[in-house]
């Protein structure tokens, strides 16, 4: 159990050290947009997509101004949820299934 807590503390430290949360971004906001991610984004419910666009636009604005959000507005490790992950897993599963079918 002690090792698990240490790993969790390390993850939290790395999350904060990466810095994207200081711009109000979540982990799924910074994924490289390959074809799978682009397809998953198309499948997001409108409210999740709009929230993502807002966070990205705000982060770009802050970055251009060389600013970060006030600390109370940073995305906390515990609040960051993988909103895109279920859609991305489904897209990848479908692509692999299609690729396997095309090999036959």
Residue 44 near residue 101, CB atoms below 8 Å:
no
Q: What's the confidence (pLDDT) of residue 104?
A: 78
Q: What's the confidence (pLDDT) of residue 1?
A: 61
Q: What's the confidence (pLDDT) of residue 47?
A: 98
Neighbours of 67 (CB within 10 A): 11
Alpha carbon of 86 to those of 27, 37, 54, 67: distances in Å? 14, 11, 21, 32
Residue ranges per structural domain of the chain: 2-103
d(CA 71, CA 65): 17
Residue 87 near residue 48, CB atoms below 8 Å:
no
Q: Which fold has domain 2-103?
A: Cytochrome Bc1 Complex; Chain F (1.10.1090)
pLDDT per residue, tens digit, the chain (104 aa), is 677 899 999 999 999 999 999 999 999 999 999 999 999 999 999 999 999 999 999 999 999 999 999 999 999 999 999 999 999 999 999 999 999 999 87
């Amino acid at each position: 159990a002690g090792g698990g807590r240490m790993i969790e503390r390390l993850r939290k430290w790395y999350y904060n050290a990466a810095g994207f949360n200081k711009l109000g971004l979540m982990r799924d906001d910074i994924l490289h947009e390959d074809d799978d991610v682009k397809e998953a984004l198309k499948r997001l419910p409108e409210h999740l997509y709009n929230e993502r666009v807002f966070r990205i636009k705000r982060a770009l604005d802050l970055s251009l101004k060389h600013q970060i959000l006030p600390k109370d507005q940073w995305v906390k490790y515990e609040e960051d949820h993988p909103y895109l992950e279920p859609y991305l897993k489904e897209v990848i599963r479908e692509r692999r299934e299609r690729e396997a079918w095309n090999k036959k």
